[in-house]
Amino acid sequence: ITNADGGVLNDPILLRLAENHFWLSLADSDILLWAQGLAVNSGLDVKVCEPDVSPLQLQGPRSREIMQSVFGDKINDLRYYWFVEFELEGIPLIISRTGWSSELGYEIYLRDGSRGDELWERLMAAGEAYGLQPGHTSTIRRIEAGMLSYHADMDSHTNPYELGLGRLVDLDMDADFVGKAALKEIAAAGVQRRQVGLLIGGEPITGSNNEFWPIMHGGEQVGVVTSAVYSPRLDANIALAMVSIEYSELGTETEIVTPMARRSAKVVEKPFYDPKKSLAALKSA
């Protein structure tokens, strides 16, 4: 979803529940008021509201086994980026093969908020034998996968072409959309900066960055590190960064100014791990 200047407002998952019934499963920005304002001025007969739905993610290598123990073999037929309606002991659910982890996983949308505790306990009990624990999104895993965090790696001043997402922009469609004219101009002119992957030298980074780190080349700032972390799996400091187009080529060497010290850095391919998403897109058994 883009604004009039082609900047990214949100990168949600769209679920089509019926012919004229859609859900937007949002990323880390609020789009409700924007969508309602757009609806008022669109001339379309559409109602935009926030449904009484509570999402829960079950992610990880053993998520399929846990889901199968709860929902039966039918869950194995659910393909990557598809969803299905389920009812678990009278609890109404929609389950999709999606998630913010780049691992095999599921998003479970609870359609009756009064039964949240019941659903949670049912899943935790089923997952006990598989080592299931409550948790949060993994910064390490999402940076390894090149997954973008809104407000960190992109915002309303970042366009899809800068993020390498031009393949998702259809400027040839007959329908108009907010930002189409601006994106046509950007596509024709080319971008002045681009998101890249970086390998950062030095000792393992402790934690992740809470502010943008300047990227220097020849005494001049040429970009910023937006997300950085140490990956134990890769035994490397890895980062997502936005740099001037002249310094975005693979192999370009730069220097990072961190709160601890200056560190060397080199532009590399991203994602850093499992670039074809073979883990998340595991085929149905």
206-232 pLDDT, tens per residue? 988 999 999 999 999 999 999 999 999
Output the pTM of the full model: 0.92
Look at residue 260 in the predicted model and tell me its pLDDT. Answer: 85
91-122 pLDDT, tens per residue? 999 999 999 899 999 999 999 999 999 999 99
Q: Looking at the predicted structure, is the pLDDT value of residue 187 above 50?
A: yes
Kind and range of the H or E element at 267? strand 262-268
Q: Looking at the predicted structure, is the pLDDT value of residue 9 above 60?
A: yes
Q: Give the count of alpha carbons within 13 A of 174, CB side only.
A: 0
pLDDT band, residue 283 (cuts 50/70/90): low
CA 185, 190, 193: angle at the middle one, nearest 5? 120
65-90 pLDDT, tens per residue? 999 999 999 999 999 999 999 999 99
Alpha-carbon separation of residue 247 from 15, 77, 185, 210, 250 (angstroms): 38, 45, 23, 24, 9
Tell me the DSSP string of 45-92: -------S-EEEEEESTTHHHHHHHHH-GGGGGPPTT-EEEEEETTEE
Residue list for the binding site: 107
pLDDT band, residue 284 (cuts 50/70/90): very low
Look at residue 29 in the predicted model and tell me its pLDDT. Answer: 83
25-65 pLDDT, tens per residue? 998 888 999 999 999 988 889 999 999 999 999 999 999 99
Residue list for the binding site for substrate: 107
Look at residue 285 in the predicted model and tell me its pLDDT. Answer: 37
CATH 3.30.1360.120 fits 54-137, yes or no: yes
Look at residue 279 in the predicted model and tell me its pLDDT. Answer: 92
116-157 pLDDT, tens per residue? 999 999 999 999 999 999 998 899 999 999 999 999 999 999
Kind and range of the H or E element at 17? strand 13-18
Runs of H (alpha helix) within the chain:
32-42, 63-71, 116-127, 139-144, 180-189
